[in-house]
Amino acid sequence: MTPSLLPSKTLCWLALFLWVVGASLLGWFFITGSTVPGDDGRTAIQLKPAERAFILKEMRQLLQTVHGIVTALSDPDQSQGLTEAVAAARSGGMEMAADANPALMLKLPLPFKQMGISVHQDFDKLADAITKGITSQQVLHQLSSITSRCTACHEMFQLTAS
C-alpha cells in the first residue's frame, strides 16, 4: 500500500467504528428508553411535562374508545349500536398513533411501545370484526383482551415528568 492510502483507510475504519457505536447507542435507547426504577416497583419512564401530558391524553382517548364501544353495544337499536361501535373502535386504531414524535418514541421502553402499538392494531382489528358481524359477546371478549394489556402496562410503568 502506498502511504497516501493509509490515512483514508484509517478514516474509513474510524467512520465505520463511529457508525457502529452510534447505531448501537440508538438501538439501546430504542429498547430501554429513558427509564429508572420507580419508587413503587414499577419502571419510571422519564419524560418532559409536555411529553407526559401527550401520553396521558392518548390514554384518556383510549379509555374514551372503550367507553364508546361499551355504550354502543348497550344501544337497543343494534344496527345503530354496531355502527357506533365500529366508529369508536376505529378512533383508537393505528391512525391515532400516526402522529407520534420520534424523539418521544425513543424515550419509551420497547415493552411499552409494543403494548401500545398492539392496542392500536387490535382496535382496528376489532372495528373490522364488528363490520364482519361478530356478536356482542365476541366484541366484549376482544375488548377484554385489549384492556388486559392496558392493565399490564399500568402495572409495569409509571410516567414521571422531569
Residue 92's pLDDT band, with cuts at 50, 70 and 90, is: very high
Q: Residue 101: what pLDDT? A: 85
Please determine, for residue 4, whether its predicted confidence score (pLDDT) is greater than 70: no
Long-range CB pairs of 76-83 (<8 Å, 24+ gap) are 78/136, 82/130
**The CATH number of the domain covering residues in 34-161:** 1.20.120
Q: pTM of the entire structure?
A: 0.81
The C-alpha cell at 117 is 402499538
pLDDT average, residue stretch 114-134 = 96
What's the pLDDT tens digit per position in 67-88? 999 999 998 888 788 899 999 9
pLDDT score at 7: 75
- Compute CA distances 124 → 38, 91, 127, whole Å: 33, 8, 5
In the Cβ-directed half-sphere of 54, how many Cα atoms lie within 13 Å?
14
Q: Say if residue 5's pLDDT is above 60.
A: no
DSSP assignment string, 110-152: HHHHHHHHHHHHHHHHHHHHHHTT--HHHHHHHHHHHHHHHHH
Q: Pairing between strand 43-47 and 35-37?
A: antiparallel
CA distances from 80 to 69, 71, 73, 77, 130 (A): 12, 11, 9, 6, 12
Please compute, for residue 116, the number of CA atoms within 13 A of its CA located in the half-sphere on the CB side: 20
Percentage of the chain lying above the pLDDT 70 cut: 91
Amino acid letter for position 110: L
Quick check: 23 pLDDT over 90? no
Instruction: Name the β-bridge partners of 157.
Output: 43
Binned at pLDDT 50, 70 and 90, residue 21 comes out as confident
